[in-house]
Amino acid sequence: MMEIFFERKDVFQLKDMEKIAPKEKGITAMSVKEVLQSLVDDGMVDCERIGTSNYYWAFPSKALHARKRKLEALESQLSEGNQKHANLQKSIEKAKIGRHETEERTMLTKELSSLRDQREQLKAEVEKYRECDPQVVEEIRQANILAKEAANRWTDNIFAIKSWAKRKFGFEENKIDKNFGIPEDFDYID
């Protein structure tokens, strides 16, 4: 379909394209509208609504300029990438200076790895005794107090609903307990 635009270098309406495309390029008449819309969506064909009609056009120079812009963008990305690569190579060379394998360096590297292993062991040991940490114990106590208050609040709510149901409907307390699965020893937590 692009060949039609490039060969004729003219502006077309949809009905013109539906006549030309099947005859010259063998595109089925049913798919001309979809193909044309796809080309418009991809920015390969321009479309403008004038009055009640849509006009479509595409010129070879636009495609050429689009390719040139894309090529320029890719070339600038390539040059930036080459510059970054060169900078990284320079920084690698700088980092290598003074890092020759010496006896002292080997000894310090071994000492560093042993200290890291020791640190990991100590962290594991501290984690093992974490539950004895006074701060953790205090957090657990505070959480227990909050949980106890919440449990007593819900117990109070249940008693209030039981009292309301007894007044409103005249139910006996043991029937309410049985129907709602409330145990006989249900009471506040001390």
C-alpha 190/C-alpha 185 separation (Å) is: 14
133 phi-psi bin (left φ>0, alpha ψ -120 to 50, beta other): beta
Q: Are 45 and 36 in contact (CB under 8 A)?
A: yes
Q: How confident is the model at residue 89, as a pLDDT?
A: 93
Q: Which helix or strand (DSSP H or E) is residue 53 part of?
A: strand 53-57
Amino acid found at 154: W
Q: pLDDT below 50 — which residues of the chain?
A: none
Q: What is the pTM of this model?
A: 0.36
Tell me: the pLDDT tens digits for 4-45? 888 888 888 888 888 888 888 888 888 888 888 888 888 888
Q: What pLDDT score was predicted for residue 173?
A: 86
Per-residue DSSP letter, 29 = T
pLDDT of residue 147: 94
pLDDT for the residue numbered 153: 94
What is the per-residue DSSP string for 79-104? HHHHHHHHHHHHHHHHHHTT----HH
Q: Give pLDDT, residue 92.
A: 87
